[in-house]
Amino acid sequence: MQSDRPTGDVSENGVWSAVVPRTMAGERLDVFLSSAFKDGGLSRSKIQSLIKSGSASVDGEVARKPKLKLSGGETIALTVDLPSAELAPEDAPLDVIHADEHLVVVNKPWGLTVHPAPAQPSGTLVNRLAHHFPAIMSMEGERPGVVHRIDKDTSGLLLVALDEKTRLALSAAFAGRDVDKDYLAIVHGVPQDESSGRQTGTIDAPIGRDPKSKTKMAVVDKGGREALSEWEVLWSSPDGQASLVRVHIYTGRTHQIRVHMAHIGHPLMGDAIYGARQHKEWLRDSGHDASLAPRQMLHAWRLGFTHPETEQDMRFVLEPPEDFRRLLFTLARTTVRVGVVGMPGCGKSALSGFLREAGVPVFSADDAVAALYEHGEDGWTLVRRRFGEEFAPDGEPVAKGRLFAGMRQSEDFRREVLDIVHPLVQHRLEEFWAQHADAPVAVAEVPLLVEGGWDERGIVDMVVGVHCPEAVRRGRLEDRGWDEATMAALEAWQWSEADKLARCAHVVDNSGTLDDLHAEAQRLLQRIDADRRADEEREHQRIMALWSGDKDASAGADATAS
C-alpha cells in the first residue's frame, strides 16, 4: 500500500531533508521525523537522540529540542546512517509468480520488509530482486521498481517494475485506481452492515495519523486522506468468533485494511496494533497459543492490472500461506455434540459412564434436574412460584414424588412442569458445551431429547441411541423398584424405541454384558471420530474453494498461482 507519511530526498552526503506539510502544523519535531522514518524502523527514542546530538536542523538551524513545535512549511534535515547509494544484491529465495522484461509479480512472505530503509539497509525484498533481476539496479532511488507496498507482516502478491518507463506507467495506474487489489483477512467476529444487515459493505472513511498515538493510523474527522474499502464475509467460524473476509481497496493508505476493519469493530486477528484487546481476549477465551496467529492475518490475494507495454489484462490469484490456512482450519474445528437417547432402563447411563472413563466430557440431564430442584435453585424457585410450597417446601428440595404423581394425574400439569424444567436444562447444557468447546467430542444424556426437537433445533450435532431388548430393560427397572404403572407412565411420555432410533446417526447394542457395552462404547468413539474427521475435511475443502475458485482468473493472462 502507498504511504501517506512525509517523504523527502537524500543528498549525496547522506542528509535526509523534507518540507513540513501545512497539514502537520503544530506537530512536534520528533513526531514528524518518527512519522517519516517509521518504515525504516527508527524508534521515537532513536529520533530524539539524533535530535539532541545535533543531527537535525530546521530551515538550516540546528534544532536540539525534540518537542519543538513546527509551523508547517519548514525544511527539516536529518543526518542518519542511510543505506549505501549502491543497492546490495542478496542471493536469497524469491517466489516469482510472473516475470517478463518489463515487470515481475512475486509472492512476498510475511516477515519480509519490501525495501531498504535507514534502520534496515539490507535483508529486504528489493535486495533479493536486485540479485534475481539485475535490471532494477539501473533504476534510481532507494526503492527501485517499487510501485506499491504491503506491510512487512502481510503476505501475498506484489508487483515490481523492471525499468523506469514501466515504473512510471504502473505508478500512474495505481494513482488512477486502475489496479484491482483484493485481500483476504481473518477478522474477529462476524461483520455485518448496520443499514442493510448483510455481510458485505463499504467503508468510506478518511485515514490519518491517530491524534492519540502518533505511531498509529486512524479514521479521523480532520486532516485525513480519502480511503475507500469494500468488504465481504466469505466464511465464519461455527462459534462466530472469527470470519474470513475479502477486502477490495480503491485507495492505498497506510494500514488501510487494518484501520478500516478495526473502525467497524472487527480488527484483524493477530494485529498487535489495531486489535490487541480483541486478540488478547480471544486467546484467553479459546485457550489457543499466540503462535497460532503470529502476525496480522492479512494476505494480498488477487491483483489485476493492464500490462503497460503489451496492454494485456493481467490477473493473478495466490492462495494464502500455511500459517493463514492453519488458523482458518483451527477456527473451523468444532466439538461434536452428541446426544444419547433410549428407552428407560436401556443402559444410557452405563454407556455415558464408559464414555466418561474414556475422557469424554459427559452431561446428564437427570443430574442437572436434581441440581435445579435443590432448595433455592432456579428449578425450586419456579416450581414453588407456580405450584406452591406443597411441591417446593421451605428448606427442602423439590418434592419429586409429589411432582411425579401430579404429572401422572394431569397431562396439563405435566406439560407445565416440562415448560419450566426444559429451558433450565437446555441452558445448563449450553453452558456445558461452552465449557468443553475445545474437546473433540462431548456427550449429553437427555432422555427426551428427540421428543423436544433438540436435534432439529441444533442443540446437538448427532444423536446416538441405545437399544436393549424390552424384556431385559424392564427386568432392570424392576430391580430398581419400579412398578408396572410407573414404567407405563414414563414410556407413554416418550416416543417408541423404533421412532427414537430412527433419528439416530449411530445405535449402540446393549443386549449383552457390561463388558460388551464397554467394547461398544469404544467402537462408538471410533465411528464418531471418523465422522468428525470427514466433516473437517469437507469444511477444509469448502474453505480452500473460497480462494481457489476465482472466475476472473481465467481472463486475460490467466496467471493463477496456487
Q: What is the CATH number of the domain that holds 504?
A: 3.40.50.300
Verify that 361 and 480 share a domain, yes or no: yes
Report CA-CA distances (Å) from 21 to 6, 68, 230, 325, 534.
8, 16, 30, 42, 59
Residues 223 and 119 in one domain: yes
Same domain (yes/no): 47, 105 = no
Per-residue pLDDT, 379 = 96
Instruction: Give every CB contact of residue 157 below 8 A, 6+ residues apart in sequence.
Output: 97, 105, 106, 107, 108, 300, 301, 302, 303, 316, 318
Q: Do 293 and 194 share a domain, yes or no?
A: yes
pLDDT of residue 322: 96
How many domains is the chain built from?
3
Whether 162 is covered by a domain: the verdict is yes
352 shares its domain with 302 = no
**Same domain assignment for residues 311 and 375:** no
Q: Is residue 102 part of a domain?
A: yes
Residue 2 lies in a domain: no
> Looking at residues 477-497, what average pLDDT do you find?
88
Residues 459-464 have a mean pLDDT of: 95
Q: Are 433 and 441 in contact (CB under 8 A)?
A: no
Residues 404, 519 share a domain: yes
> What pLDDT score was predicted for residue 15?
67
Specify the pLDDT at position 196: 86
Residues 137 and 250 in one domain: yes
Residue 308 lies in a domain: yes
Kindly report the pTM of this predicted structure: 0.71
Q: Are 301 and 385 in the same domain?
A: no
Confidence of residue 212 (pLDDT cuts 50, 70, 90): confident
> What's the average model confidence in pLDDT over 61-76?
89
Domain assignment of residue 130, yes or no? yes
pLDDT of residue 137: 87
Among 99-108, 338-347, 400-409, 475-484, which is the least confidently predicted range?
475-484
Distance (Å, whole) CA 341 – CA 349: 10
Residue 75 belongs to domain with CATH number: 3.10.290.10
Q: What percent of the chain lies above the pLDDT cut of 70? A: 92
* 559 assigned to some structural domain: no
Residue 257 host element (H or E): helix 256-263
So what's the pLDDT on residue 7? 55
* Structure confidence at residue 38 (pLDDT): 60
**355 and 398 fall within a common domain:** yes
87: in domain: no
Task: Indicate whether 560 pLDDT > 80.
Answer: no
Please state, in angstroms and as integers, the Cα–Cα distance from residue 547 to each residue in 96, 186, 201, 243, 542, following that order: 19, 13, 19, 14, 10
Q: At which residue does the C-alpha cell 549505501 appear? A: 84
Residue 206, CA distances (Å) to 200, 260, 324, 553 in order = 19, 9, 29, 31
Q: What per-residue confidence (pLDDT) applies to 119? A: 64
Q: What is the pLDDT of residue 548?
A: 84
Q: Does the pLDDT of residue 4 top 50, yes or no?
A: no
How much is the CA Rg of the chain, to the nearest whole Å?
A: 33
pLDDT over 90 percentage in the chain: 67
- Predicted confidence (pLDDT) at residue 153 exceeds the cutoff of 90: yes
Question: Average pLDDT of the chain?
Answer: 89
Between residues 187 and 217, the one the model is more confident about: 187
* pLDDT score, position 11: 46
Query: Which range in 40-49, 115-124, 214-223, 538-547 is most confidently predicted, on average pLDDT?
Result: 538-547
**How far apart are the C-alpha atoms of 242 and 258, rounded to whole Å?**
15
Of 79, 104, 133, the domain-final residue: 79
**Confidence (pLDDT) at 73:** 82
pLDDT per position as a tens digit, 355-407: 999 999 999 999 999 999 999 999 999 999 999 999 999 999 999 999 999 99
Q: What is the mean pLDDT of residues 148-161?
A: 95
Q: Does residue 20 register a pLDDT over 90?
A: no
| Claim to verify: residue 213 and residue 310 sit in the same structural domain | yes
Distance from C-alpha of 319 to C-alpha of 334, rounded to nearest angstrom: 24
Residue 258 has pLDDT above 70, yes or no: yes
pLDDT band for position 304 (cuts 50, 70, 90): very high
Q: Which of 55, 79, 103 is the last residue of a domain?
A: 79
Report residue 154 as a C-alpha cell. Answer: 502481510
More confident residue, 160 or 438: 160
Q: Could you tell me if 459 and 514 lie in one domain?
A: yes
Domain that holds residue 19: 9-79
- Which active-site residues does the annotation give? 151
Residue 330: inside a domain, yes or no? no
CATH number, residue 197: 3.30.2350.10
Does the pLDDT value for residue 139 go beyond 80?
yes
- Checking if the pLDDT of 201 tops 60, the result is yes
- Across residues 426-442, what is the average pLDDT? 92
